[in-house]
Every structure is written in C-alpha cells, then in structure tokens.
C-alpha cells in the first residue's frame, strides 16, 4: 500500500509539472472583479457569486485533484450572517489545501481571514465586501474503481452567478460520458500534451426563485452529469462482488445460531412469513447506527458482527437480512437507493452517489416487496415517504446476471397502504362540543406515533395529547380520556382513543346556532396553493404522506334542536386524487358525515397548477362550511 501511494505521489508531481493548473486557472481575480462588477445589479439577494469555478484533474493511476475557486459579494446583513464563518467540505479520504483566501474591502484593501483547518472566519466582514477563496482537494483512490470517475454540477440555482465554470482534465485516451439536463450547454474541448480538456461555462446564469414544494435544483436547474462508466451494471457487478463476501454462508456459526432461533419448529412458511420473521428479529434486536469510525462509507460489515454488536447502519442491517434470507431459501437482494429528497434526476449517469440501502424479497408470484430496516417503529412492508419513487439499483446475487441491472424508480405497489381512519361522535351541549374519537393509523404514520408515545408515562401522554388536540381548536379544550393501542407491539396499526370537550365552539347567529365540522386531519391546506403561479412542478410526495383517508362523524343535537341547512354531497377529482363528502340526515337532530379521499402522490405539473388550485379551493370551501341548527 505504501509503495502504491509513493508511486502515485511521484506521478502526480510529473502531472503537475506539465503546467496543467496554469493552463486552466489562467484568470486574474482582480481583473475579473473589475470587469464583472460593472454588470451587477442584484437587489433581491443577500449575496451573489462573481465566480463559481470547479476544476477536476484526473491522474492515470487513480489520483484526483479538485480545485474550487469562489468569488462572491456580500449585499446585506443576511449575507454577512451567512458567510462570516465558512466551512469547506471534504471527507476523510481527501487532503484539503487552502491555497488563497482574501477579503477584498469595498475600497480595494485586502485582508486575510482567520483559517483553522477547513474553517474560514471572515473577520470584519461588511456589506459590499468580496470574499475570495481557492482551495484544493487531493485524493488517491484504490480498488476496482480507482481509475473511474463520476460527478455532477448544477449551473443554475437560487443564487445569482456571473460565471459558472466546470473543467475536467483527464488522459486523452480515457473515455468520458457526459450529458446536460434542463438545457443545452456544450463543452469547449481541447488537448494539451497527453491530456484532454472539457470546459463548460455559463455566463450570468438564470436564477431559480423558490417555490413551496418545488423539486430540488438537480431536477430543474441546468446540470451536468459525467461518468467514465458506460452503464449501471458495472456498479451493480462491482458492489455485488464486494458485498457478498460479507453475506454469511452455512459455515458462519453466529448467523446459523440466529437462523435456528428464528425458524425453530416453524415449517411450511410462505415467502412473506419468512420475511416477516427475519424483519421482526432485526427491528427487535438490532439498533440503527451510522457512526463513521465504525463503518466504512460503502462496505458493509459482516452479518455476524452486526449480530454480536447489535448495531449496524442501513447496508449492515440489509446485509444481515439477506444472509438470513439465503439460509431459509428466501430470494432477497440488497437495493441501493438515492432517497427522494435528492431528486429524480440527480443520478443520470452511472455513479455511486447513493445515500441509503434497503432490501427486497420476492414472493411466490415473483412480486417485488421492499423493506425498510432502519426504523424499528415502522410496520412490516411499510415504506417511509422518502422512498416514494426514489432512484434505486438492485444488487444481484452471486448467481444473477448483473447485465440486467439498471437504475429505476422504486415501485410502491406492494407496500402497506398508508391510511388514516377516524370515527368521531360529536354531541352538542349548549355552546360546548363533547367529542369521542377513535383514530387508526396504518403504514408510515404508525412510526411517528410509536416514536412519540411508546416510552412516555401516562401523565406525559395525556399532557402531549392535550397539546396536540388543543392545536386544532381556537377555544379551550378539556381532555377527559386518552388511550393509545399498538405502540408497544410491532403491528400494522396504532389506535388513538380520545374523549374531550371544547367550549364556545357553537356560535349563536340571530335565532340560529352554527359550528364548523371538527375534522381530525386536514387533507388540504392553503400552503398547497398560496402562490398565484408556479414555474416548477409541485412535489406532492413532500406535501402528503397518506394514501387514503376514511372519516365518519356522527353529530347529535339535543332532542329539542333540529338541523336547518344540510350541505350538499360533493365529489371532486383531479390527477387521480379522489375526494368525496356526504351528509346523511338520520333524524331531525342526528347527522352522519362521511369524508373519503384516495391520494396520488405523483408530481403535479406546473401547467396543471391552476386546475389543482381550483380543486383544492373547492375542498377548502366545502370543509369550511358551517352546520346550522335551531
């Protein structure tokens, strides 16, 4: 290992002597600032980039240098607060060198900041000051992918930038695949001795204004994707070779012992029953941990170590599941995931920018079933919202063909349905509401409820529930009884039973009385439609975490009272989102309200936003109606 490192250092010195850095980094900062500042008028921003420049130098034997140069101007106090302390990001496999750092005052005077490793403190920072920093990251890669490279760069985001530049320098005989998304930006290509340059440059990039529930910049901004690998099967095959050395065989005593304990005297099990037994063992016995000094970035630990330490990160726990699945004859695979908050386009060419690992198993009909193993409060076959249509790569087992591997969106068709079912009895007594409610949560909603309440005393549960119920009413509430079922067992649902009263919720209007319908949950609120126009898609998965709502409210008036105006039944549909509400008058003083909704969490196109606003507005109007009686 030492000899390899020395060879690479020597090669890197030769590489640098060819003046590649001087050839690429040939601008002068002072001249750049003078030229560009003449064109700058930024009134709505806290700061802007004069230059955002990245240079990548790839060495033939696996060394890599990344040089970042940033020049930005501070426009107001918020900009000062944002940049008075700057942290330069790097990982443990990289060497950080800050080559230049200056604070350029508005009068042209230059001062040096305080530097402590990767922390830069810009003392005396004021409005109209310019920050200039240039730093270099050096790394040496080993293993099968030492000579491979992948990266991405977003040119357009929410910060004004005069010059956005990305340069790649690599040996001329090394192939590189690249593409731009959400726009066209062709590289300038040239050669210098044995190396080839690719440079993408964008002048005065378009600023993306923030919108609620918009996609990440990687999905909507002009972005560049690069990779030296031609397809995803290369990633899958490599990781399969790496990970299956950690998956235990029949000779691992520790794993065999756990297997015997789980499946002792259990016979004739179908695939889901086997998977459920393994799932239950893991969530009950293994704690999720992601501590960098214990686990490497991409290599899972052996299944036996996860069992002995009772700790593991997502890839460790998934590896344990597959180890046990192999022993019981259950077909299962590791699945690498880029969770949804990273976008749907963030991994457009082969790379290893995954941030999560789950498993999938196949049932008797060869249907794929995905399991999240890091949340011990999550029911079996339920998936957290961050996995909705997330990008995924299935890692083939030893006997599977990796050539079929490809990056795909996770399918959620066989997951446990995320459902909210609420039954409410509402009795009117003068100006007071007496409410008895039973709320049942299925799927990912179970996890949050369990995590919140399972370790609480009865006194704290009551206090917490008092706060939660009070937040739904403008008038004082009195919580009389609360009971939560299913928080201490790994079952598919939790049940919350409440009894409480609310004063002053019934209003007297002339000879009539009126009150609004106390729904337990809002399916829609104004945050979904609070801007007049959208330029970008509405990410519905980030707004909604429920697939189905089922509500029934039985309203009882005093015997001497009777309903006056009953709202009409309504049904609304949009983008495969179905909503209905009905009112059934059982007697003069008894009314049954049923509200149901089936949700589609796919993105809503910006071009459909006006129709979506109309759809939501109708529902808000219906649910904001008052019931009247005399």
Q: For the chain, which domains are there?
A: 2-228 (2.60.40.3140), 234-409 (3.10.620.30), 419-629 (no CATH)
Residue 139, beta-bridge partner list: 64, 94
Lowest mean pLDDT across 209-218, 378-387, 395-404, 423-432:
395-404
Among the listed residues 394, 409, 410, 349, the one whose alpha carbon sits nearest the alpha carbon of residue 237: 394
Average confidence (pLDDT) over 163-190: 94
Q: What percentage of the chain exceeds 70 in pLDDT?
A: 91
Give the residue, 243 or 199, on which the prediction is more confident: 199
What Cα–Cα distance (Å) separates residue 67 from each residue in 27, 58, 70, 100, 229?
14, 12, 10, 11, 23
Rounded to two decimals, the pTM is 0.89
**How high is the pLDDT of residue 42?**
59
Q: Which two tokens stand for residue 528?
A: 């979904």
Coil, strand or helix: which one is 284? helix
Coil, strand or helix: which one is 162? strand
**How high is the pLDDT of residue 11?**
38
Q: Which residues, 6+ apart, have CB-to-CB distance to 51 below 8 Å?
A: 27, 29, 32, 36, 69, 70, 71, 162, 163, 165
Give the residue, 17 or 244, on which the prediction is more confident: 244
Q: Is the pLDDT of residue 416 over 50?
A: yes
**How high is the pLDDT of residue 2?**
30
Mean predicted lDDT score pLDDT of the chain? 89
Edge-to-edge strand order for the sheet containing 150-154? 150-154, 223-227, 177-181
**Per-residue pLDDT tens over the stretch 54-85:** 999 998 877 889 999 999 999 999 999 999 99
pLDDT band at 206 (very low <50, low <70, confident <90, very high): confident
Q: How far is 100 from 115, CA to CA, in rounded Å?
A: 11
**How high is the pLDDT of residue 140?**
75
**Per-residue pLDDT tens over the stretch 310-356:** 999 999 999 999 999 999 999 999 999 999 999 999 999 999 899 99
pLDDT band at 252 (very low <50, low <70, confident <90, very high): confident
Can you list the positions of beta strands (E) in 40-154?
Answer: 47-58, 63-74, 85-87, 94-104, 110-111, 114-116, 119-121, 130-140, 150-154
pLDDT band at 293 (very low <50, low <70, confident <90, very high): very low
**How high is the pLDDT of residue 63?**
83
Average confidence (pLDDT) over 447-475: 90
pLDDT band at 24 (very low <50, low <70, confident <90, very high): low
**How high is the pLDDT of residue 248?**
64
Give the residue, 26 or 95, on which the prediction is more confident: 95
Average confidence (pLDDT) over 576-602: 96
**How high is the pLDDT of residue 403?**
67
Q: Which residues, 6+ apart, have CB-to-CB distance to 627 below 8 Å?
A: 514, 515, 516, 517, 555, 563, 566, 567, 591
Q: What angle do CA 430, 431, 436 make, to 5 degrees?
A: 90
Average confidence (pLDDT) over 481-495: 91
């Amino acid at each position: 290992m030492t000899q390899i490192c020395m060879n690479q250092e020597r090669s890197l010195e030769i590489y640098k002597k060819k003046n590649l850095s001087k050839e690429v980094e040939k601008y002068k900062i002072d001249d750049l600032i003078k030229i560009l500042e003449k064109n700058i008028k930024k009134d709505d921003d806290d700061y802007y980039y004069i230059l955002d420049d990245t240079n990548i130098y790839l060495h033939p034997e696996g060394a890599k240098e990344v040089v970042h140069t940033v020049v930005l101007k501070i426009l107001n106090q918020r900009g000062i607060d944002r940049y008075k302390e700057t942290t330069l990001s790097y990982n443990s496999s990289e060497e950080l060198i800050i080559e230049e750092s200056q604070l350029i005052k508005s009068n042209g005077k230059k001062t040096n900041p305080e530097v402590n490793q990767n922390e830069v403190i810009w003392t005396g920072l004021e409005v109209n000051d310019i920050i200039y920093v240039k730093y270099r990251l050096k790394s040496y890669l080993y293993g099968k992918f030492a000579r491979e490279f992948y990266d991405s760069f977003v040119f357009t985001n929410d910060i004004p930038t005069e010059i956005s530049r990305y340069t790649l320098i690599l040996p001329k005989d090394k192939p590189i695949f690249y593409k731009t998304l959400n726009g066209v930006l062709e590289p300038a290509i040239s050669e210098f001795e044995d190396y080839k340059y690719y440079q993408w440059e964008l002048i005065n990039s378009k600023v993306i204004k923030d919108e609620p529930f918009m996609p990440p910049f990687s999905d909507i901004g002009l972005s560049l994707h690069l990779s030296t690998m031609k397809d995803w099967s290369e990633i899958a095959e490599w990781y399969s070779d790496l990970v299956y050395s950690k998956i235990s065989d029949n000779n691992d005593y520790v794993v065999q012992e756990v297997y015997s304990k789980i499946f002792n005297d259990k016979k004739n099990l179908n695939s889901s029953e086997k998977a459920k037994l393994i799932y239950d063992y893991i969530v009950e016995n293994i704690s999720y941990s992601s501590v960098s000094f214990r686990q490497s970035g991409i290599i899972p630990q052996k299944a036996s170590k996860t069992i002995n330490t009772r700790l593991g990160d997502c890839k460790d726990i998934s590896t344990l599941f597959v180890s046990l699945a192999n022993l019981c004859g259950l077909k299962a695979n590791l699945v690498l995931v880029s969770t949804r908050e990273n976008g749907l386009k963030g991994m457009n060419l082969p790379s290893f920018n995954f941030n999560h690992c789950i498993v999938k198993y196949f049932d008797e009909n060869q249907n794929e079933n995905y399991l999240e193993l890091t949340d011990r409060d999550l029911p079996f076959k339920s998936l957290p919202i961050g996995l909705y249509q997330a990008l995924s790569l299935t890692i083939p087992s030893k006997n599977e063909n990796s050539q079929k591997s490809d990056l795909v969106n996770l399918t959620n068709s066989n997951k446990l349905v995320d459902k909210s079912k609420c039954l409410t009895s509402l009795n009117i007594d003068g100006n007071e509401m007496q409410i008895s409610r039973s709320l049942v949560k299925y799927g990912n909603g179970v996890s949050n409820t369990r995590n919140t309440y399972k370790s609480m005393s009865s006194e704290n549960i009551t206090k917490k529930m008092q706060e939660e119920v009070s937040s739904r009413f403008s008038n004082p509430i009195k919580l009389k009884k609360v009971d939560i079922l299913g928080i201490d067992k790994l079952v598919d649902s939790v049940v919350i039973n409440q009894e409480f009263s609310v004063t002053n919720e019934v209003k007297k209007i002339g000879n009539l009385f009126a009150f609004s319908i106390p729904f337990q949950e809002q399916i829609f609120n104004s945050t979904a439609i609070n801007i007049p126009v959208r330029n970008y898609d509405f990410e519905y998965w980030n707004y909604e975490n429920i697939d189905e709502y089922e509500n029934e409210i039985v309203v009882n008036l005093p015997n001497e009272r009777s309903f006056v105006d009953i709202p009409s039944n309504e049904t609304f549909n949009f983008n495969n989102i179905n909503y209905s509400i009905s009112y059934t008058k059982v007697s003069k003083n008894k009314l049954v309200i049923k509200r149901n909704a089936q949700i589609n969490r796919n993105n809503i196109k910006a071009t459909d936003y006006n129709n979506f606003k109309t759809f939501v507005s109708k529902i808000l109007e219906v649910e904001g109606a008052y019931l009247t009686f005399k």
